[in-house]
Structure 1
């Protein structure tokens, strides 16, 4: 499928942390956040087959829903821009006269924004609301909030096939359940998937995941579960405990975890490890237990400025390295010399918005994420 440069399979790196190792566990990070900065992680996997379905249906417009800071709204806008669709974003709540960064980006990619009051928004999947939208905008291909539908689930099934090590658990954060519904279907019979709800009162997600699997595969699977403990007071809320975990992780690994989803999952993994939730010898591994955590949203590292970008051209360098890429209106996708990392990359000089605004950057994680021979 053409359109945007994609790093697939996404890198797999092992986290070097004595707190994990002392429990006889090896923890690998599946860096889906590096697939593409504009359509990262589960967003690409969820949208991939929706793009195909929309093209097969002859649709020229994609319509979807989300909040004012929705990563899904941004990703859908990017997909429309690069794959030739008009896009409409139905935004929950009052109109934002001064657009935030997310909505500014969406409009820069050609998305039309329409605001829906919260009462109506809660009924957004009803025939009456969808009919009202079709009367206003004409025909469109509908992508649900968060992108979770059967097409999205099929895209997430492919994730497990990219992991070329033997593992016991595959973990992900959950907002709508689509990623968990798909990735669990790609597991071997003796592997399990564990989701971590980012929502307070997230018990309903189990029903949503089961329904997504019924719609996609005919019946729900029994190889997954959702932990609802580590919500820290509710969606997008922060506590001192969570902040201290993020700060400590950053000090240890020079990595700042995305806090709405990823940090909650990682906190949960460490907490469950301390409780010996993952028993030694599971599936017959006498040496250690192997976990893979999916980073499906941006994971921010310390950045090293390696060059400047002009609209007319230039080169990207690391000290002592050959040029990594050349820009001349376009610049190429290149891997960072350190395995498991990559150069900020793109199609044209406008592509990465805020990333381009602060110049070329490349992750420099100082060896705390140590790729192994098995990793991409």
Structure 2
């Protein structure tokens, strides 16, 4: 409780100082660096994400200036969190225009089909796995370092946030595909979860060791309830067996965050309980304005809503945009809970508090 009050006072003080000294649109963070998969993919980071860019006006107009989501009908969670901090949309790492001053506010390394494991999503072709995304981040640092001194670089990284969203693909596009991957034959679900967490921890520490100090790490949502898994279950209901697999991973990720905070006091690591937040929406859809939670706006089986497909007209009433991804309306709720949520959503602090530390 004492920690909460201290963080609240720090938050209020920073808001006052920012407003007085830098103006109403000033951001409290230097940059946001996003690591993940198609949930926050900005396009350009692999062939699939570039192909899937939405052509439904006003979305998909510009990789740099417009909403970056390529697997939803507009803004992704990271877009919306950036807006709340007066940050510009993050350019994709592989975008040729992502150079110079365009990368100073951050970069999006997320790649469709990517996972914690290098093998995850290989059937989709080119993609940047977590380990490659970390290497890509180090390449970005080389570019930024050339324009500022070592001391300024250290301060810059300390005021930056790493947003990380991994794990879903390691199940959907690996463990749950025994015809293509042998992971389910080699590991029982708890063993696979621990295998993922060990690999995840190494890469988080790699980012910490190059200077990042603020980490916002999302757990895996109940992917057994996405339209793709409902169809696989052939019952129209959530695939409970899939959701049950995620317990060990999410509990382990929260424990990892506790350990990282204890062992690295100069950093702050936050766990976002996306499973509980999405579960709340699924259990109480009308409270959030949703009337359809078991079907996609673009049909049950589609990977994404391609330009040749006519989406549903009432998108704000749909939880899912396609067979795998949430709509912008859902992303807005997730972003709000990440930004201002209590400790049951974000532990030990929320995204807003993390930004102002």
TM-score (norm 1): 0.27
Give 1 or 2: higher helix fraction: 2
TM-score (norm 2): 0.28
Give 1 or 2: higher strand fraction: 1
- Structure showing greater radius of gyration is 1
